[in-house]
Amino acid sequence: GAAADRDEEFVREICARWGIPLSVGRGDVGEYAKREGLSTEEAARNLRYAFLRRTAAERECECLYTAHHAGDNAETVLLNLIRGTGLTGLTGMDWERDGLCRPLLGVTREELEAYAAEWKIPHIEDATNADPEAAARNLLRLQVMPLLKELNPRAVEHICGTARRLRGVDRSLELDAAARTAHVEVQEGRVTLSMEALAAAPAAVRPRMLLRLFDLLGVGRKDVGAAHLEALMDLARRTAWGKEGRLSLPHGVTARYCRRWLILETRPQILTEVQLVPGRALHWGDYALTLLDRPEGEGISFFWRGRPG
């Protein structure tokens, strides 16, 4: 649109004046958002980063630097908090990840504006920044953050400080989960974790162990939410010896508990080996099988030859 053309022309002038190489890309955000089922904001972000990474590869650049600042980081934490998130969502933006660097995360917007004014560095406002309806982030930036700063002028600094401390906690839990799943049995299309290993872990680590199973399976953890992880834990609690439970999960993964093992598969077996426990009925299709230590009634009897007691 006109605003984007204005922004592009401004950047072209600055780059020409300072002798900075410039690459420009365009994309149909609306069409991409509709095709992928994304919000406009998420679609624009995906296209923007895809362009940046593609251009960096073409120009043989090792790192991408973005200008995200402390205010952006605080907004991210608050948005995640009100939308619903786990601990990781409260750690804010990554300072560095996969070649993407954000060196200004510790600097506030006010500090950046003061620096630009002192050194007479021209800048331009994104037109959507002044439109509270453009995205939830702008509503937060224009209406909520000013109120929080009235309560405490250092609100942004404190939110970012908390996010930084939580990042350390988050990292520790991930390392613990990695250590506890280091010896998980991995086969093509299947991973197996013992229930004992899961039960021995602290409650905060168990969901992360389950997420690592999706990584080890090769399907990744995207779209695996808290509801799926809780369903897995519920299945573990409800599954008794000799009885098999199943659960369908994202990426075509099926989970089942069998003989004190949690098995995640992308190609689940139709029939599996199940342990018969004396005196406890096993439901198999339309039948109920019970292992007895004596003959009883007509038909087939299963005898358990075990030691007394």
Q: What does the pLDDT look like over 109-164, one tens digit per residue? A: 999 999 999 999 998 888 776 666 567 888 999 999 999 999 999 999 999 999 99
pLDDT in tens, 36-63: 988 888 898 999 999 999 999 999 999 9
Q: Are 79 and 68 in contact (CB under 8 A)?
A: no
Reduced to 3 states (helix: H, G, I; strand: E, B; else coil), residue 200 is: helix
Burial of 67 (0-12, 13-18, 19+ CB in 10 A): exposed
Crossing angle for the helix pair 155-180 and 206-217, nearest 10 degrees? 70
Give the whole-angstrom CA distance, residue 41 versus residue 135.
7
Residue that wins the pLDDT comparison between 11 and 131: 11
Question: φ, ψ for residue 255 (rounded to 5)?
Answer: -110, 145
Does the domain at 184-272 match CATH 3.20.20.10? Answer given as no
Identical fold between 67-180 and 184-272: no
pTM to 2 decimals?
0.77
- Identify the pLDDT of residue 245: 72
Residue 184 has a CB neighbour count (10 Å cut-off) of 18
The architecture in CATH of the region 67-180 reads 3-Layer(aba) Sandwich (3.40)
Which distant-in-sequence residues (6+ apart) come within 8 Å of 188 by Cβ?
none
261 has which bridge partners?
194, 258
- Identify the pLDDT of residue 274: 58
Give the whole-angstrom CA distance, residue 305 versus residue 292.
9
- Identify the pLDDT of residue 281: 67
pLDDT in tens, 257-266: 887 889 999 9
**Domain extents in the chain:** 1-62, 67-180, 184-272, 276-309
